[in-house]
Amino acid sequence: MLAIVPALDEADTIAEVVRSAAAHVDSVVVIDDGSTDGTADLAREAGASCVSHERNLGVGAAIATGLRHALDLGADAAVQVDGDGQHVASSIPVLLAALHSGADLVVGTRFEQGFEMSFVRRTALRFFSAAVSRHVGHHVSDPTSGFRAFGPKAMEKLAPIFPTAYLADTIEVLYLAAESGLIVRTVPVDMIARSGGRPYAGPTKSVVYAARMLLLTIKHFRLRPR
Interacting residues with ligand GTP (CB under 6 A): 6-8, 10, 31, 33, 56, 58-59, 62, 82-84, 86, 146, 194, 199-200
Nearest alpha carbon to residue 84 among 11, 167, 147: 11
CA dihedral (208, 194, 158, 27) in degrees, to 10, reads 160
Task: Decide which of ligand GTP, Mg ion, none touches 58; Cβ closer than 5 to 8 Å per partner kind.
Answer: ligand GTP
Binding partner of 151, given Mg ion, ligand GTP, none, CB within 5-8 angstroms per partner class: none
Restricted to residues 78-97, the positions that interact with Mg ion (CB under 5 A) are 82, 84, 86
Shortest distance, position 50 Cβ to ligand GTP, whole Å: 11
Q: Which does 114 bind (CB under 5 to 8 A by kind): Mg ion, ligand GTP, none?
A: none
**How far, in Å, are 35, 90, 116, 189, 190 from residue 112 at the CA level?**
33, 16, 11, 8, 9
Task: Tell me which long-range contacts 200-206 makes (C-beta under 8 A, separation of at least 24).
Answer: 200/8, 200/59, 200/166, 201/166, 205/166, 206/121
**Residue 10: contacted member of Mg ion, ligand GTP, none (CB under 5 to 8 Å, by partner type):** ligand GTP
CB nearer ligand GTP, residue 205 or residue 219: 205
Cβ contact 133:214 at 8 Å: no
What b/e readout covers 84-109, taking b as 16+ CB neighbours within 10 angstroms?
bbbbbbebbebbbebbeeebbbbbbb
Q: In whole angstroms, what is the distance from residue 128 CA to residue 155 CA?
A: 23
Could you give the angle at the alpha carbon of 7 between the alpha carbons of 64 and 37, nearest 5°? 140
Nearest approach, Cβ of residue 27 and ligand GTP (Å):
17
Smaller CB separation from ligand GTP, 33 or 172: 33
Name the binder of 64 from Mg ion, ligand GTP, none, CB < 5-8 A by kind. none
Quick one: 40 or 183, whose CB is closer to ligand GTP?
40
Under the binding rule (CB under 5 A), the answer on residue 145 touching Mg ion is no
Q: Binds 62, which of Mg ion, ligand GTP, none (CB < 5 to 8 A, cut-off by type)? A: ligand GTP
Answer yes or no whether residue 35 interacts with Mg ion by CB under 5 A.
Answer: no
Q: Which is nearer to Mg ion, 179 or 190 (CB)?
A: 190
CA 54 to chain centre: 21
Which of 50, 81 has the CB closer to Mg ion?
A: 81
